């Protein structure tokens, strides 16, 4: 029964965590629109690999972090700095997504896989997120930190993340080349706004803990 509990909690926690528009799902949607669903799916697989690694690390450290809340505060401050840097990048450095990519330049699908891993690694919020989730449900006796149960939760987190990313990919359908030229929305600005909002929310949380 504990295996089933860990799987359900791992899947639903990951699934719900990716529902709000964020860096990962909006990046997957952007790639789907510009390069097709297959490439976006490969990107999503890379994201899920990193998510499972982050989940494993978070669950292993959950008991220790519960006794040392200062570590969570440090993670929040690091995440704040990362989101500020991402906001600056997408607003001022990243190329305009409305520009037509040169036909002769073809991006490697393998690069999309590693890009998914890299972008997911930039997001440190899953670490405290999984710590809170696991400790909370463990207090009710619904989550186990035993080795087998832990791995079930890790695999479930990757599956839940992948399912929600696929929903985003299916929702944002690839556009024909002629239609793409008429696109007036720069997706980099959309992602930049999202990272800015997350940075503000994180900053508010940090200030609340200080005061």
Residue 96's pLDDT is what? 54
Determine the pLDDT at residue 72: 60
Q: Is the pTM of this model over 0.85?
A: no
The values of phi and psi at residue 108, to 5°, are -70, 135
Q: What is the pLDDT of residue 104?
A: 37
With a cut of 70, which residues of the chain have pLDDT below it? 63, 65-69, 71-73, 75-76, 79, 90, 94-110, 172-188, 190-191, 194-195, 198, 202, 209-211
pLDDT for 105 equals 38
pLDDT in tens, 43-67: 999 999 999 999 999 898 876 765 6
For the record, the structure tokens of 150 come out as 């832990």
Geometric angle at alpha carbon 26, from 77 and 87, rounded to 5°: 40
Closest CA to 107 of 192, 43, 29, 48: 43
**Residues 64 and 180: beta-carbon distance below 8 Å:** no
Q: Assign 3-class secondary structure to the chain.
A: CHHHHHHHHHHHHHHHHCCCCCHHHHHHHHHHHHHCHHHHHHHHHHHHHHHHHHHHHHHHHHHHHHHCHHHHHHHHHHHHHHHHHHHHHHHHHCCCCCCCCCCCCCCCHHHHHHHHHHHHHHCCCHHHHHHHHHHHHHHCCCCCCCHHHHHHHHHHHHHHHHHHHHHHHHHCCCCCHHHHCCCCCCHHHHHHHHHHHHHHHHHHHHHHHHC
pLDDT of 157: 95
What pLDDT is recorded for position 103? Answer: 41
- What per-residue confidence (pLDDT) applies to 160? 94
């Amino acid at each position: 029964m504990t295996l089933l509990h860990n799987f359900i909690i791992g899947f639903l926690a990951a699934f719900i965590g990716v529902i709000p528009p964020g860096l990962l799902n909006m990046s997957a949607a952007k790639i789907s629109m510009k390069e097709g669903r297959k490439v976006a799916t490969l990107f999503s697989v890379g994201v899920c690999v990193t998510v499972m690694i982050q989940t494993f690390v978070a669950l292993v450290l959950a008991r220790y972090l519960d006794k040392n809340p200062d570590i969570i505060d440090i993670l929040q401050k690091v995440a704040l700095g990362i989101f500020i840097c991402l906001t600056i990048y997408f607003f001022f450095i990243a190329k305009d997504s409305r520009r037509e990519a040169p036909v002769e330049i073809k991006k490697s699908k393998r690069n999309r896989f590693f890009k998914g891993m890299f972008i997911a690694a930039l997001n440190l919020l899953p670490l405290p997120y999984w710590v809170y989730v696991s400790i909370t449900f463990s207090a009710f006796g619904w989550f186990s930190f035993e080795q087998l149960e832990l791995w079930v939760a890790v695999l479930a987190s990757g599956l839940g993340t992948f399912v929600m990313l696929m929903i985003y990919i299916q929702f944002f359908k690839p556009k024909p080349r002629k239609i793409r030229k008429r696109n007036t929305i720069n997706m980099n600005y959309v992602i930049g706004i999202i990272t800015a909002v997350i940075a503000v929310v994180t900053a508010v949380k940090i200030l609340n803990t200080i005061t």
